[in-house]
Structure 1
């Protein structure tokens, strides 16, 4: 079976996020190895775990892209916005882990946190809803 270009791009994103997760695992291990309590900073741990989960979530998105009835542009825009927010979230966790500036970004909010979270919710749920509808349209109707 030949994969569509849109599916290949999303699968590449999943692979890159997984590679990022593995690299973050090395950072997490080094912090655990060097700390007195053998724990990494909470946001280093969160970045590692989130990247692992998001890499597999991105594979799920790729499957829905492959079987969607929408065109490549709609699929890539829908999947792209999801992956963009996955990567931005991981990046935020990395930032806080590197700076060691907080153990709870919602307690120590910065300007724009609420707007970002609303955008994330709309983008991730909306993007996936489009792909799910494309799957239903192509595979079930």
Structure 2
């Protein structure tokens, strides 16, 4: 079976995110091995774990893209939005781990945080609902 082009792109980025997760795991291990407590900074740990989880989430998203009724452009936009937001979130956690200045980004957040969180909610949940309804229309 040949994957649709939109599916192939989402699956490719799932692999990219998984590769990032593996590299973040090396960084986490390095931080753990040089820390007096044996622990990495919380956001180094969060970046690593979230990248692992997002890589598998992107793989799941690719299945919904493949079997959706909607046109390829709609599926790619919905899945691509989700993947882009996954990558942005991982990058932010990585930035916080590199800075090492906070253990909780929600403690005294910048005023823009509400807008960013709203974008994540709409983009991730909305993108998935588009794919889920396309799947249901085609498969149920």
TM-score, scaled to structure 1:
0.98
| Structure 1 runs not aligned, ≥5 long | none
- Residue in structure 2 matched with residue 8 of structure 1 by the alignment: 8
Maintained 8 Å contact 1:102/1:108: no
Q: Which range moves more in the overlay, 109-118 or 89-98? A: 109-118
Coordinate RMSD, CA, aligned: 0.6
Aligned length: 140
Aligned equivalents of 1:111, 1:85: Cα separation in 2 = 19
- Residue in structure 2 matched with residue 26 of structure 1 by the alignment: 26
- Residue in structure 1 matched with residue 130 of structure 2 by the alignment: 130
Aligned equivalents of 1:93, 1:56: Cα separation in 2 = 18
TM-score, scaled to structure 2:
0.99
- Residue in structure 1 matched with residue 103 of structure 2 by the alignment: 103
Report the CA distance between 1:111 and its aligned residue: 2.8
After superposing on structure 2, the runs of 4+ consecutive aligned residues of structure 1 that deviate more than 2 Å are none
Report the CA distance between 1:108 and its aligned residue: 3.1
